[in-house]
A and B are shown apart, each in its own frame.
Chain A
Amino acid sequence: MTLLEICQAIQNTQIGTTMRESNYYWMLNGSHVLGIAVSAGAIFWFDLRAMGLNMLDMRISEVYRQIDAWMTGGFVLMFITGGLLFWARAADSYSNVYFRIKLVGLLLAGANAMYFNMKTKRGIGGWDTAGKPPLNVRLAGLFSIILWGSVIASGRLMAYTF
Chain B
Amino acid sequence: MARPFFTWLQMSWWGTTVRESTWGFAGASIVLLFGIVLLVGGVFLMSLRLLGIIMRDRPISRLGRDFRGWTLVGLVMTLVSGMSMWAGHGIMPDLYESGPFWLEMELLLIALIFHFTLYQRVTSRDDAPLVLRRLTAFLALFLWFGVGVAGRAIGFF
Q: Which residues of A contact B (CB under 8 A)?
A: 25-27, 29-31, 33-34, 36-38, 40-42, 44-45, 48, 54-55, 58, 66-67, 70, 149, 152-153, 156-157, 160
Contact = CB atoms under 8 A, between A and B. Distances in A.
B52 to A, nearest CB: 12
Interface string B62-81: 00001101100000000000
Contacts of A66: 54-55
B66 to A, nearest CB: 5
Interface stretch (B3-11, B25-33, B118-126): B25-33
B92 to A, nearest CB: 16
Contacts of A30: 148-149, 152-153
Interface stretch (B36-44, B108-116, B131-139): B36-44
| Chain B interface size range | 20 to 34
Contacts of A152: 30, 33-34, 37
Given A54-B66, A54-B70, A58-B58, A156 B33 contact: yes
B145 interface: yes
Contacts, number: 86
A46 to B, nearest CB: 10
Contact of A34 (B26, B55, B66, B145): B145
Contact of B149 (A34, A40, A157, A160): A34
A25 B156 contact: yes
Interface of A is mostly: helix
Contacts of B103: none
Contacts of A54: 66, 69-70
B45 A67 contact: yes
Nearest to A149: B34
Nearest to A41: B41
Contacts of A44: 37-38, 41
A38 B41 contact: yes
B29 A41 contact: no
A66 B38 CA distance: 18
A42 to B, nearest CB: 6
A67 B63 CA distance: 14
Given A25-B156, A33-B148, A153-B33, A41 B44 contact: yes
B29 A37 contact: no
Contacts of B67: 45
B102 to A, nearest CB: 16
A96 B145 CA distance: 29
A48 B152 CA distance: 27
A76 B156 CA distance: 25
Contacts of B149: 27, 30-31, 33-34
Contacts of B70: 45, 48, 54
A36 B58 contact: no
B45 A29 contact: no
Nearest to A154: B30
B156 A156 contact: no
Interface string B141-157: 00011001100110111
